Structure 1
Amino acid sequence: MNEQEPRSIRGAVAIVTGAASGMGAATARLFAAEGAHVAVTDVDAEGAQRVAADIVVAGGSARAWALDVASDADVLRVVDEIAAWQGRIDILVNNAGIAGFANLDDAAYPALWERMLAVNLSGEMRMARACLPHLVKAAHPRIVNIASTEALGATAGDSAYCAAKAGVTGLTRALAVELGKAGITVNCICPGPILTAMTRAIPDADRETYARRRTALRRYGRPEEVAHMTLSLVLPAASYITGAVIPVDGGLMARNA
């Protein structure tokens, strides 16, 4: 083993959910550039295909799958196909998620609540369960769950999303404890205000005002900045980091005023 291997994911097989755009796409591209074989998965099949094709054109290794993480059948089928593709699974990045606002007394709230938990929380559990038989055989098995700073604070009208993302932080800690004996590290990233499809609809002036008032760095983050933290957590060298909940938020949670 040379000195560079512990800080490389070259040859690893990584699944990234919600990888058709935003942080998921940035993570898939970064992992491929680092030499990993990347399973690009998303409910948006065409978007996943575009990201995988871009990776291949750039000289990387990737294949796309249509995947709804709220579907048990979808998850089991796709994970089996990915394992057959390269013979193993080393890394799982649970990035797939949805957003939506509703007040507690809104008629639409119960349906939003159920869908939010099915995708944003139970989807991460489903993926971890399906990948577990493969991860226990990996040399450097890693799970990274993507939550949100909404798990650490709250916005009015966002309680379903906040509850699901807070559940992700709890799931992360519990799985870190449960799976540690198998050498599987499980960590969680809580992105703050990031320029993605979820935030693109916010007017530019409103984004700028929010960033100046709330973040220490006075700006929105880029998907690539989250992807680089994800990469750091899946490196073989990151072998003693588990159960961590890490904000990538430009200092949002650190700032009082």
Structure 2
Amino acid sequence: MSGPRALSRSVAGRVAIVTGAASGMGRATALLLASEGARVAVTDLDLAACEAVAAEAGGDAQAFALDVADGEAIKRIVAVIAAHFGGIDILINNAGVSSFAPLDAGDEYEAIWEYEAIWHRAIAVMLTAHQRMARAALPFLRKSDAARIVNIASTEGLGATPGDTPYVAAKTGVTGLTRGLAVDLGKEAITVNCICPGPIHTGMTDKVPDEDKAVFARRRTALRRYGNPEEVAHMTLSLVLPAASYITGAVIPVDGGLTARNA
């Protein structure tokens, strides 16, 4: 039997789209991919913030304004990105929104923050957008010799926190979508995987007092601390390597041992 064939651990020259890349895990992922030689499309709502990340990344990173809740915008911008870079090899569906809402949220909330509005926004940004991005990128991914899709979900997609049903539903949907896409696209050698970050220092968690974070981390995680965006980004990088050719449909917690710990 012959030995394993050589497998590349380089993303140099690969074209990657990262959504929600203006801050947090998206920013860390865009910067890491660029540092590894990838050509990165930095996308988010705020073009100026995207331009700042692209400038920090250097190389061939480019900024594109994109509201992932807008289906027509997705089709248009993905086509623009593919034309600009000459193709697409990697799609990172990272865009997200905070969606905490008690079930009976209503009159005491401002109209835009009523439960129904929060629910629809959560599903649009963190679930529907993922499949729309994948479908828009698919014609270009099919031309790649190492096409990769990584969906960013959450440990809220593996369990639940009280008062968080819109976010939990969206992130749980992402894990199912990942498996479905992996099965559908496996015959074309396009891998689709999912990362479930646990407690991470990002804009969404900035409002949590440091002392509360410390208590939560000690009680709930094996590593007794919050994670950093870069630690999630490195798992994403591992999944998009050409060498990661036999990993698909995986749902991987990056959570400091939160899901492993019972007490």
Gaps of 5+ in 2: 107-113
- Stretches of structure 1 lacking an aligned partner (at least 5 in a row): none
Report runs of 4+ in structure 1 exceeding 3 Å deviation: none
Q: For the residues of structure 2 that align with 1:215 and 1:5, how far apart are their CA atoms? A: 34
Partners of 1:4 and 1:201 in 2: CA distance? 47
Give the alignment of 1:20-169 within 5 angstroms.
20-56=22-58, 60-107=59-106, 108-169=114-175
User: Partner of 1:188: helix, strand, or coil?
Assistant: strand
The aligned counterpart of 1:226 is 232
2:199 aligned residue? 193
Letter in 1 for 2:193: N
RMSD, matched Cα = 1.0
Alignment of 1:248 with 2:247, yes or no, is: no
Tell me how far 1:47 sits from its aligned partner.
Answer: 1.1
Separation (CA, whole Å) in 2 of partners of 1:162 and 1:105: 16
**In 2, Cα distance between equivalents of 1:77 and 1:174:** 25
Indicate the residue corresponding to 2:13 in structure 1: 11
**TM-score (norm. length: structure 1):** 0.96
Alpha-carbon separation, structure 2, partners of 1:224 and 1:96: 16
**SS at 1:179's partner residue?**
helix
Q: Percent identity?
A: 67
- Deviation per CA, 1:109-149, whole angstroms, max 9, x where unpaired? 11111110000000111100100000011010000000000
Q: Distance in 2 between matches of 1:127 and 1:223?
A: 22
Q: Describe the SS at the equivalent of 1:35.
A: coil
CA contact (8 A) 2:88 2:144 kept: yes
CA change 1:222–1:4 in 2 (3 A) is farther
Partner secondary structure for residue 40 of structure 1: strand
TM-score, reference length from structure 2: 0.94
Aligned length: 252
Give the secondary structure class of the aligned counterpart of 1:6. coil
